[in-house]
Amino acid sequence: MPAIDLCIRGATVVLPEGIRKISLAIDQGKVVDHRETEAKNVVDAEGLTLLPGAVDAHVHYNEPGREEWEGWTTGSRASRAGGATTVIEMPLNALPPTLDADSFSKKRAVAEKKSCVDFALWGGITPLNLGKLPELAHAGVIGFKAFMVDSGTPDFPGSDPATLKQGMSAAAKLGLPVAVHAESPDPIRHRTEEIRHKGGTSVRDYLSSRPIETELEAIRLACELAGETRCRLHIVHVSCPEGIDEIQKARRAGVDVTAETCPHYLVLTDEDMVRIGTPAKCAPPLRSATAQRGLLQKIHQGEVHTIGSDHSPSPPSMKADPDFFNVWGGIAGCQHMIPLLFSAGLSPTQIARLTSENPARRFGLYPRKGSLEIGSDADFLLVRTGVTDEVRAQDLLTTHPITPYLGIKLSARVEQVAVRGCFQPTAGQFLAPLLSQ
């Protein structure tokens, strides 16, 4: 009787340091060898690319409380199909939002029952719960998320600079990072009021209410506060190369800050938002083709650290208002994350680093996650490249068949996904961060 559970042979294996032709021997959910080994099950993956499973640090599943928007069952299935084997779920859009130990344990309980990928949870920083950050840390949050601008849900208010600074100080003491949605509320409000006053309701009106400068101003302020508080900062969904420049500037000044971007900024532009309409509404908004080229350039220069889907679904009714300002801002796209990155021209090695190793390292999950080294969890994808698949509504696994990617051609297909060595969806495990201190 062979000693181990599974051996994957013949695949082109993508490790962050490069591509190798090795086998993956797996036992009890862990990688145990890089040599071909006799096993109970042998998968011949000749012609396929094997990638480490993505650690998608930015999803909104909205459950408990708003499961009519999505939910853990459908959300985690879609994420898994898109290449994520671990997700880190955001503290807002569920009800209650994750602002204290009680709401944390409610969400953890739902996720343990329904998630088919491993998961960790963000806690929130808002003006309502600054005193609750220690109990959230104790409960096992991966870090804290704050909004500098209106979040879109009244139960998760944005943080003014004083609140953000206080939250960052507390997070730094607790040894946890802070993820920030960086857009400046005041200039956006002024512009929006002016536009609304003239009767503006269109996609282009919305785009002009949130120019790049409003994002840069907020990134600068967040970096400054992180420097003062010695907080580890992660700027989520950076939409433009100028944003990455600000983050690089802060890093050179000694601030511990990393940058996330999302697939939608790499494959869609502001003109696509005009063409597609409400499914493509997000904040910060989609940018110009020039900005997109610049952002891709930043990825090639190694200045972007992580890619997360920012999967943020809503019911169709919230995507239907003829006034674009009233439409829910959030793109549902986790189901195509890895294929989209191939389509955007990223190399397999870049994809492995940005979607797997780097987020796992940044959020205290490495080397259990984000690695295919011996001893790591056997979380991986078998991907077929060189295909031309089209995104179709009937294939969507999300609660609502809404996505801005309909009709897009994908150059890679996630054929199989293993979480801890298992190709069949099984119950996801809760992950607490390994604290660096």
Question: How far, rounded to the nearest angstrom, does the alpha carbon of residue 183 sit from its chain's CA centroid?
Answer: 18
- Asked whether the beta carbons of 121 and 88 are under 8 A apart, the reply is yes
By CB atoms closer than 10 A (0-12, 13-18, 19+), residue 198 is exposed
Residue 141 CB, shortest distance to Zn ion, in Å, is 16
Residue 320 CB, shortest distance to Zn ion, in Å, is 21
Strands 54-59 and 49-52: unpaired
Residue 282 CB, shortest distance to Zn ion, in Å, is 9
Q: For Zn ion, give the closer residue by CB, 380 or 405.
A: 405
Query: Distance (Å, rounded) from C-alpha 253 to C-alpha 249?
Result: 6
Residue 312 CB, shortest distance to Zn ion, in Å, is 5
Find all residues with CB under 8 Å of 304, minimum gap 6, and list them.
Answer: 238, 244, 259, 260, 261, 295, 298, 354
Q: For Zn ion, give the closer residue by CB, 33 or 150.
A: 150
Q: For Zn ion, give the closer residue by CB, 100 or 310.
A: 310
Residue 90 CB, shortest distance to Zn ion, in Å, is 5
**Tokens (6 digits) for 40:** 């109970």
Residue 283 CB, shortest distance to Zn ion, in Å, is 9
Q: Which residue has the tokens 């201190």?
A: 437
Neighbour count for residue 254 (Cβ, 10 Å)? 9
Query: Distance (Å, rounded) from C-alpha 81 to C-alpha 72?
Result: 14
Residue 57 CB, shortest distance to Zn ion, in Å, is 10
Query: Distance (Å, rounded) from C-alpha 178 to C-alpha 226?
Result: 9
Query: Distance (Å, rounded) from C-alpha 92 to C-alpha 144?
Result: 11
Q: For Zn ion, give the closer residue by CB, 310 or 357.
A: 310
* Distances in whole angstroms, Cα of residue 89 to Cα of each of 62, 117, 266, 313, 392: 9, 11, 22, 13, 26
**Tokens (6 digits) for 210:** 């949130």
Residue 6 CB, shortest distance to Zn ion, in Å, is 35
Q: For Zn ion, give the closer residue by CB, 27 or 310.
A: 310
Query: Distance (Å, rounded) from C-alpha 410 to C-alpha 192?
Result: 36
- Asked whether the beta carbons of 338 and 354 are under 8 A apart, the reply is no
Question: How far, rounded to the nearest angstrom, does the alpha carbon of residue 87 sit from its chain's CA centroid?
Answer: 8
Q: For Zn ion, give the closer residue by CB, 153 or 201.
A: 153
Q: For Zn ion, give the closer residue by CB, 85 or 151.
A: 151
**Residue facing Zn ion at closest CB distance:** 310
Residue 236 CB, shortest distance to Zn ion, in Å, is 6
Question: Looking at the DSSP assignment, which residues form a beta bridge with residue 319?
Answer: none
Q: For Zn ion, give the closer residue by CB, 89 or 310.
A: 310
Residue type (1 letter), 154: P
Residue 64 CB, shortest distance to Zn ion, in Å, is 18
Q: For Zn ion, give the closer residue by CB, 215 or 310.
A: 310
Neighbour count for residue 227 (Cβ, 10 Å)? 17
Find all residues with CB under 8 Å of 381, minimum gap 6, and list them.
Answer: 50, 51, 52, 53, 54, 83, 85, 338, 414, 416, 417, 418
Q: For Zn ion, give the closer residue by CB, 179 or 381.
A: 179
**Tokens (6 digits) for 221:** 């302020």
Point out which residues bind Zn ion (CB under 5 A).
310
Neighbour count for residue 38 (Cβ, 10 Å)? 11
